[in-house]
Structure formats: structure tokens, C-alpha cells
Structure 1
Amino acid sequence: MPNEITNQENTSKKKKQNSVDISSIIGDEKAAILLLSLNEDDAAGIIRHLEPKQVQRVGSAMARASNLNQEKVGAVYRAFLEDIQKYTNIGVKSEDFMRNTLTAALGADKANNLVDQILLGTGSKGLDSLKWMDPRQVASIIINEHPQIQTIVLSYLEANQSAEILSQFSERDRLDLMMRIANLEEVQPSALAELNEIMEKQFAGQAGAQAAKIGGFKAAAEIMNYMDNSLENVLIEQIRDQDEDMATQIQDLMFVFENLIEINDQGIQKLLRDIPQDILKKSLKGADDTLRDKIFKNMSKRAAEMMQDDLDTMPPVKISDVEAAQKEVLAIARRMADKGEIMLSSGADEFL
């Protein structure tokens, strides 16, 4: 997208942004949008309280859902909070209540974005709008931009989203971008402001005087954590060929399946309660004896014996299936760590 987008085009975009008519969205669709914007666990917790017919209607609406852009999602959330204020008798007017509720459901980053939208009556702005887009859509938006712009965008977004976006790039470009991300330390406010203009949105507030701390080895490591093993292994070796010290520092900060052994027993017990049994079995199929013993030690004796028997009698499993299961276990562990339920450590650093 060229920087010379005209004011007329920006005005048109803003009119379009404000054109979402909430009355045109039926109740089932509103519920579907709210549920689809949550993570699976939180959505499941809500669905459990619905009647069977309600589940069927909302499930059908979720299946039909399409074109869920950030304007539509923002409109539904604003209507949702307005309804709460109308019908509750406990005075849900406080910004703190709203912020805490959304943070519990969506996580701090997404909640903060939505609070800004709700309080200011606007849609997602600039780079923040990309957080609500499908990774393939974001890739198509930035694919022809300068690598430095791509680097800032990938460093700014959440690691799992950036990993999916990178998978859409060529092998050569992935290597170049990952090394740029690792070398990035901060971005000046003027650069962020320019990027927000490129995204054709109004910048929310003024850029502060301090440079934004994004990118770096940890950002690169977190993105790598979410990549498929095949891409991850190739990419780290390509980085090593270019810069061995960079590759070493990124690897030291990555949290891989073998690092689960560093989680304390209490953390392992909490983690095991959230991992589906079939995923756990597949993931342990490729684990060494030390890690298996750590897992078994934190199960009941009977559960450990049953798991061991299942592993002994399990037919051969494709390596790709084992790796996928391990990635899923790591994703669960990272979600729990983000909520402060467990602590993950890897190499010389920690992911809190």
C-alpha cells in the first residue's frame, strides 16, 4: 500500500468503518461473533450454560459466520456492553470492570484494543487492526511492503499470528525477516505513526516520546516456537549459516518440548489437567525416558500405569503427528504461563 493514499480515500474508509448497522445483526449472529472472538476454552465455558436448542442455533450461526472484520466485531462488543449497562442492577458502568472482564476473556493486549474502541467509539486502529485479521490476509497485505515494514509488523503482532504469517512467505524471505526481527531492538514513534497511516486508520492517541521496544532475540524465539517443526528446523540452521551467535541466542530463548522437564511438579500437575489424553499420549511417544518419568511422577499411580501400557501398545505414529501433538502441548503450556498459572523456563531466560 503506497504512502500517498489520499485524504479522500481515508475519509471514505472512515465512513465505511462507521457504517456497521448493529440492528442488522440478529441475536444468534451476535452470540456467534462474541464466541468466535474468544479462545476455545472460554467459549466452551459459556456454551456449557446454554440449552440444547440454543447451542444448536448458535452453533449454526458460528458455522455460517463470514466476513468478521474488526468493525463488525467492535460493533457487537459495543452493543454487548451497552446491553449489560441497561439490564444489570449492579451498575456495570466502570471502565475497570469492563477492562477486567475483557482481559479475563481475551487477554490483556486484545482487551486493551477493544476498550479503546468502546470508549472512543472507533474501530481498531493502525497496526492493532491487523491483530483481528486472518494471518493469510495479513500476509497478503504486507507481502509487497519493504522488509523493514514487514519486520516491524511481525514484531508487533502476537508470536503465534506472526508464525502463521511467516509460513506464507518464501524460504528466503523467512530467513531474511527472522534475522531482521532478531536484530531489531526498538522502533521510533515516527516510524510507528507512519505505519499506522499506511494501514489507513487513525492513530489512537499520540506516540509517546519513548521508542517502542519490539523485536529482538526473544521475539524471534517466540515466533519460532509457534512454527511447524519442519520450518523451524530449516530456519534455525539457515540463521546459523549466516550468524552462529544469533542462532545460538535464539535457541537458548526458545521453549521446546524437552524444556517441560524444567517445570516444577505443581506446574506439571496443572498442565496435565488441561491436556487431552490422546494429545498427551502422542506427544510422549517421542519423549525421552527422563521426561516421561517426570510426567508419570505427577500422575496417580494408576493413571501412570495406564498411560505406560497405552504407550507400549500404541501402534507406530508418524513423526509429523508426534510433533504436532507436542506443539499443541506447548501451546497449552504457553497459554497457562500467560495467565500466570505455571512458569516456563528455557535456557537462561524465563517466559512468565
Structure 2
Amino acid sequence: MNLTSPQKAAVVLLQLGHERATKVLALLEEQEVEEISAEIARMETVPSAIADQVLVEFYDQANGGAPVAGHGGLEYAQRLLEDSLGAERASLVMGRLTTLLAGQPFDFLQQAEPRQVLSLINGEHPQTMAVVLAHLRPERASAIMAGLPPAERADVAMRIGTMEQASPDAVMTIADSLQRRAGHVLTAGEPTTAVGGIQPLVEILNRADPSTEKQILEELGQRDEALAEQVRSLMFTFEDVIHLDDRAVQLVLRQTDTSGLALALKGTSAELTEKIKRNLSERARLDLVDEMEIAGAVRVSEVHDARGAIVKVIRTLEESGQIVVRRDAEDEYVS
């Protein structure tokens, strides 16, 4: 039986047991969590033969332990998400998961060229455009949004950021209309859906070119400063610290206390931890190691709060011009 990577990951997590699987999920990107959780929800049971096959492959790469039987399902996926992400984030992911399991009403646009989609939605109401873009993959939606006129682009961005929910009937009406005009076959799905909100807009902007990102945020700020600031606060994540140069990291660390830093580093990559330690003095590095050992097991929410505090420091330094943050591992500069 040929399994996709998310399916194999789901099988492995089901063999780990609830507590260990929760810790693993907490380390993954949200898109990875959604993909794997969707597969877990689909797997009511995992036949022993398939579990053995996947685990043998996994052991070859990671030298694991003994396989055990696994049971999945939507209820188990929800409990796993709640314990790894917290109830609020789990609720958002489950909303999108339900849509993913049912099939997206705009699947026929996922493979179309951005210019073709632009031509298709040209002249539509900005709210209609927002509904369409919120359903597409962020990288594709970003390319399409970049082709809109500046004023219209900002209007659509604001509507995506404030939408959160859309009527299933309205979504299907829009999809059916576009499908007929596009001449493609629609993959219909069950009504669900969290289609917009802050996070989809952040993901779209994170994949936009710098000039498009800047223009949208400026226009958004003129329309709704609170929304624009909320989006800005999510545009840079703690894991992106790996892309800062050493002088920028040192500036950030000067304004970060050791206990908060120790919490923020819980569950992060060895590469990022090493980068942080490399930019500390020997004494501070030893204090950090001690603090991390003393902290022991902590709540995921505490880790998120600690990371958020550090990201806030980075944004303050960026706004004051002391550092320039570049996304996607571009060069950074410190004045």
C-alpha cells in the first residue's frame, strides 16, 4: 500500500501514544499539523501490517522502539490537537480540518495559473474575491493578490482578515458560478468552514513580495490599525530568529530575560538553540542551560507566551530601525 508522507506521519504518531504524539505535534508547523491531523481523523484503525510496514521504514531512519496498535478518528485528532496546541488553536485547526476532510469547493482553482484566476474573478465584489482567496493555498492566493490593483488589494486583504466565517450556501454559490465560467469540474464538499481570519491573511502576506506586503499593511493600517498591528505581530515567528544575523540576535538577547528565553527554547530545534547560545556570553550561556534544566516540563501555552514576548522585542527593534527583518531567510542588516 502506497502512503503519502502525511499518512506515514499519522501512522507513526498513532503508534507513539497520546502523550508522546502531543509533544511531537507541538513542534510542527501549523500546516503540517493540519495535514497530519486530517490523516489521523481519516484513520479509524490502522491495520497491523500497515503499521509494521511504516514503522520499519521509520526505524531505518530514526531507530525507534517497539510498534504498538493505533486507533485514530476525528475525536482522537481533536483531543490530540487540544493537548498539543491548546483549546483555542485546536478549534481553529479543527474548523479547517473539517473542510479539508470534506473537500474544498474551490479545488478546481488550485492548479490554475494566477493570471487565469485573476481574469476569472475580475469585476467580482471584493468580498467574493476574499472568499475565493481565503480558500486557496496561501502561496497561490498571494500570487493572485499581487496582481490586483493596490486599492482593491488592500480592500480584499481587510475582508480576509475580518471574515472568519462564511455561509456554506454562499460559498457554494460562488464556487458553482466560477466553476461554470471556468469550465472545470468542481470537487464538491460538505458545508463547514473557517475560511478567513488573521492567520490565513498572515500566511498570504508572508508569501508576498516585500513591496506588496508593505503596501497592503499600510493600506490596511489606514482602514483598521488594530487589525494591521495584529497581522504585523504574526508576520514574524520565533522560529524565524534562525534567519537573523548574530548582531541582531545579540540585540534581541540584551532585552530578554534568561527565564523567558529558557521557556521559549523549549521544544525548538537544536539549530536555533545553538544559534542563541552562540550569541550569549559564557556566563549567560551557563545560566541559560541551568534555567532550562530547572524549568522541567512546562505548558505549551507558557512556551507560546515566552516566544511571543521575544517576537515583540524583535518587532520593536525593527520599528525603531535597529534591525531589518527579512522573511524566508533573506539577508538582514543591523544599523
Return the TM-score normalized by structure 2: 0.44
In the superposition, the TM-score normalised over structure 1's length comes to: 0.42
Structure with more relative contact order (C-alpha pairs < 8 Å, separation 6 or more)? 2
